[in-house]
């Protein structure tokens, strides 16, 4: 594991992507409904799509098909997944935007020397497209690992630990920030604290997530990190 330089912090903050850093729902929703239309199925409204995000793109297709009572048709699901990759890959950031306060928080943490990473169940290529398209990829360098890159993915701890390894920091100096039970589970399995946002893509209430701290805006992130023992201010 590479050592941090003398002018950097030994801390790391690892973020989920969809529903945490970026509101990707609008573009995911458009692509998903195009798949359903292609399949001759009734489209979903944004509130329905919102609760299906977090398990990766193929899981999103599976859940949408289940919602339309299509189960056990692997070939059809695979075809829908391929269509989704085409539709979403062509326009992943047309309507998606970082949540309010995200850019300011990332900038502050970076200037302090805190290493930043992204651990997401979104496919790697799509994740990089979103980060590059919204011009925030430079905050994370190569410490971005999607759900199709390893043999495991969140909530498996190994997915999260692999991101930390890329930051050059250690797990005992790391905090996770996410929006779902998958994120909280990954942090718990890896043995370190987790902050949850209350505006993400989960059916659970913020309290049900059982994160260490819940925030409602990224303006609250640095104080939350400080309260968990991080030196970021």
* Residue 16 appears among annotated catalytic residues: yes
CA distance 120 to 107: 20
Phi, psi of 175 (to 5 degrees): -130, 140
Strands of the 12-15 sheet, one edge to the other: 144-145, 115-119, 12-15, 174-178, 194-197, 213-215
Helix (H, G, I), strand (E, B) or coil at 231: coil
Helix (H, G, I), strand (E, B) or coil at 192: coil
CA distance 63 to 41: 13
> Which of 10, 16, 125, 212 is the catalytic position?
16
- The catalytic residues are 16
């Amino acid at each position: 594991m590479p050592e941090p330089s003398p002018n950097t912090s030994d801390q790391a903050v690892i973020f989920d992507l969809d529903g945490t850093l970026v509101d990707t729902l609008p573009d995911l929703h458009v692509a998903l409904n195009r798949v359903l239309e292609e399949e001759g199925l009734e489209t979903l409204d944004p509130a329905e799509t919102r609760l299906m995000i977090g398990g990766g793109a193929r899981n999103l297709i599976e859940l949408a098909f289940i919602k339309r009572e299509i189960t056990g048709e692997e070939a059809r699901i695979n075809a829908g997944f391929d269509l989704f990759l085409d539709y979403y890959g062509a326009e992943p950031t047309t309507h998606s935007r970082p949540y309010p306060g995200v850019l300011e928080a990332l900038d502050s943490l970076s200037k302090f020397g805190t290493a930043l990473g992204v651990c997401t169940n979104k496919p790697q290529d799509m994740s990089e497209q979103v980060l590059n398209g919204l011009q925030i990829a430079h905050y994370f360098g190569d410490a971005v690992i999607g759900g199709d890159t390893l043999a495991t993915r969140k909530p498996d701890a190994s997915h999260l630990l692999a991101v930390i390894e890329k930051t050059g920091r250690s797990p005992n100096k790391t905090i996770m920030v996410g929006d779902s039970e998958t994120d909280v589970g990954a942090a718990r399995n890896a043995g370190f604290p987790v902050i949850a946002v209350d505006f993400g893509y989960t059916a659970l209430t913020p309290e049900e997530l059982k994160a260490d701290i819940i925030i409602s805006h990224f303006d609250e992130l640095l104080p939350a990190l400080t309260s968990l023992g991080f030196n970021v201010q």
